[in-house]
């Protein structure tokens, strides 16, 4: 019901080599005149068709579009409440895809069904052509997963956890050991490898889980709130790692509350509210010239102005 045109997120996928920033800069300038027309009605769907020929022209022939993750009519109900209400979404290989939504919008539920952790009530998920729910072994092999708020085997040391994640994914001993060293180096976890994960801080736990999700070099990374409780320095570090992964052809799908962050690091975004995707496309298409945060608040039903709290303004001593 939502994304009526699954191929809308630009037939003109920027090729790996071209940095997204460059592409984005051109689109913004091009969009400026068109915008005045679109802003009037927030409910109007994207004007992708109008834009497509312009954008497609220079890059089209170089790379045929390859959808690495597709969701079709995904539905999940918990009792009477519908957590995910028929989501369709196609994500191209090489995208840095952000999923934003308010608390309880169904982001985690959606990503859990994508990663094969939660059985959907209806619909299909394909990863690189393999159905997650009827051909899980192939589909999951291509996927690295960072779930939100699930435990780790935290009585293992950091290096044991990475080794465990790697061998469960079928890597051999020497590969895991060398990749563990690389990952520890990249995430700045060298000093923590010999300590139990249960003694880690929240941010470090997030980092080791992220490292574990990457150890089998998956085609697709599905990350639920990867930046929560991560300090800014580590967040910048993680962003850099993910950017390079995307530049090399990998695909990242991540969820976050932080609009700023999504606007900064993602090239595509989907806005999820009440289990449905209200808008999706490149970040510039979705934000329509405003900041992503303003656009998001608009889509999510406007901000509520706090009234009747005057007592808060007369301070008790």
Partner 1 sequence: MAAQFLRLKLRLLGNAFRRSPWQLVGMLLGLLYGASSGIVAISGLISLRLVEAPVADAIVTVFGGIIVLGFVILPLAFGVDDVMDPRKLALLGIPTTTLARNLALTSLIGVPAVVLTLVALAQVVTWSRGPLPLLFALISVVLLVCTCMLLSRVVTSTAGFLLSTRRARDISGLVGFLVLVALVPVVFLLLRVDWANDGYRVLQGVASVVGWTPLGAVWSAPGDAATGDIGAAVLKLLIAIATVVLLWFAWRALVFAMTTSSQRLAHVRTYRGLGWFRLFPATAAGAVAARSATYWVRDARYHVSLIVVPVVPLLMMVPLAVVGVPPNVLALFPVPIMALFLGWSVHNDVAYDSTAIWLHVASSVPGKADRIGRLTPALLLGVPVIVLAAFITAPLFGDDAILPALIGLGLCILFAGLGLASVTSAQFPYPAVRPGDSPFAQPQAVGTASSLIQSFSFFFTAALSAPVAWLAWLTLIEGSKWALPTLGLGIALGLVYLAIGVWGGGRIFTRRGPAILAFSMRN
Residues that bind partner 1 (CB under 8 A): 115-119, 136-137, 140-141, 143, 145, 147, 150-157, 159-160, 163-165, 167-173, 176, 194-196, 198-199, 212
Q: How far is the CB of 162 from partner 1 (least distance, A)?
A: 10
Q: How far is the CB of 228 from partner 1 (least distance, A)?
A: 16
Whose Cβ is closer to partner 1: residue 185's or residue 199's? Answer: 199
| Cα angle 78-84-266, degrees, rounded to a multiple of 5 | 140
Whose Cβ is closer to partner 1: residue 60's or residue 154's? Answer: 154
Q: How far is the CB of 56 from partner 1 (least distance, A)?
A: 36
Q: How far is the CB of 304 from partner 1 (least distance, A)?
A: 28
Q: How far is the CB of 60 from partner 1 (least distance, A)?
A: 36
Q: Do 127 and 139 meet the contact criterion of CB atoms below 8 Å apart?
A: yes
| CA 83 – CA 111 distance, rounded (Å) | 12
| CA 192 – CA 200 distance, rounded (Å) | 8
Q: Sign of torsion, CA 131 134 135 141?
A: positive
Q: How far is the CB of 259 from partner 1 (least distance, A)?
A: 28
Whose Cβ is closer to partner 1: residue 164's or residue 241's? Answer: 164
| CA 69 – CA 4 distance, rounded (Å) | 16
The 8 Å CB, 24+ separation contacts for 274-278 are 274/85, 274/105, 274/106, 275/76, 275/82, 275/83, 275/84, 275/85, 275/87, 275/105, 275/106, 275/109, 275/110, 276/1, 276/2, 276/85, 276/86, 276/87, 277/2, 277/3, 277/87, 277/88, 277/89, 278/2
Q: How far is the CB of 136 from partner 1 (least distance, A)?
A: 5
Q: Do 214 and 144 meet the contact criterion of CB atoms below 8 Å apart?
A: yes
Q: How far is the CB of 107 from partner 1 (least distance, A)?
A: 16
Whose Cβ is closer to partner 1: residue 168's or residue 248's? Answer: 168
Whose Cβ is closer to partner 1: residue 223's or residue 283's? Answer: 223
Sheet of 130-131: strand order equals 81-92, 67-78, 122-127, 130-131
Q: How far is the CB of 114 from partner 1 (least distance, A)?
A: 11
Give CA 204 to chain center in angstroms: 20
Whose Cβ is closer to partner 1: residue 110's or residue 271's? Answer: 110
Whose Cβ is closer to partner 1: residue 133's or residue 289's? Answer: 133
Q: Do 78 and 119 meet the contact criterion of CB atoms below 8 Å apart?
A: no
| CA 302 – CA 196 distance, rounded (Å) | 45
Whose Cβ is closer to partner 1: residue 93's or residue 176's? Answer: 176
Whose Cβ is closer to partner 1: residue 8's or residue 204's? Answer: 204
Q: Do 13 and 63 meet the contact criterion of CB atoms below 8 Å apart?
A: yes
| CA 122 – CA 86 distance, rounded (Å) | 8
């Amino acid at each position: 019901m939502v994304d009526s045109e699954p191929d809308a997120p630009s037939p003109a996928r920027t090729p790996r080599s071209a940095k997204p920033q460059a592409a984005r800069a051109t689109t913004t300038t091009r969009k400026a005149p068109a915008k005045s027309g679109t802003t009037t009605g927030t409910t109007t769907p994207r004007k992708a068709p109008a834009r497509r020929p312009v954008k497609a022209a220079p890059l089209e022939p170089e790379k045929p579009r390859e959808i690495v993750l597709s969701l079709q009519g995904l539905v999940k109900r918990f009792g009477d409440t519908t957590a995910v209400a028929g989501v369709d979404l196609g994500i191209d290989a090489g995208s840095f895809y952000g999923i934003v939504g308010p608390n309880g919008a169904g982001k985690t539920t959606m990503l859990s069904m994508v990663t094969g952790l939660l059985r959907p009530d209806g619909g299909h998920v394909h990863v690189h052509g393999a159905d997650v729910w009827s051909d899980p072994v192939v589909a999951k092999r291509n996927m690295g997963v960072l779930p939100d708020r699930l435990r780790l085997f935290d009585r293992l040391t950091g290096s044991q956890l990475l080794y465990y994640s790697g061998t469960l994914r079928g890597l051999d001993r020497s590969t895991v050991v060398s990749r563990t060293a690389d990952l520890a180096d990249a995430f700045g976890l060298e000093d923590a490898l010999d300590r139990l994960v249960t003694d880690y801080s929240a941010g470090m736990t997030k980092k080791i889980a992220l490292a574990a999700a990457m150890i089998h070099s998956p085609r697709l990374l599905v990350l639920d709130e990867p930046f929560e409780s991560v300090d800014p320095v580590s967040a910048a570090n993680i962003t850099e790692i993910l950017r390079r992964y995307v530049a090399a052809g990998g695909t990242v799908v991540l969820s976050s509350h932080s609009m700023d962050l999504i606007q900064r690091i993602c090239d595509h975004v989907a806005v999820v509210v009440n289990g449905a995707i209200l808008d999706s496309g490149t970040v510039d298409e979705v934000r329509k010239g405003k900041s992503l945060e303003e656009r998001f608040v608009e889509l999510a039903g406007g901000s509520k102005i706090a009234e009747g709290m005057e007592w808060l303004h007369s301070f008790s001593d």
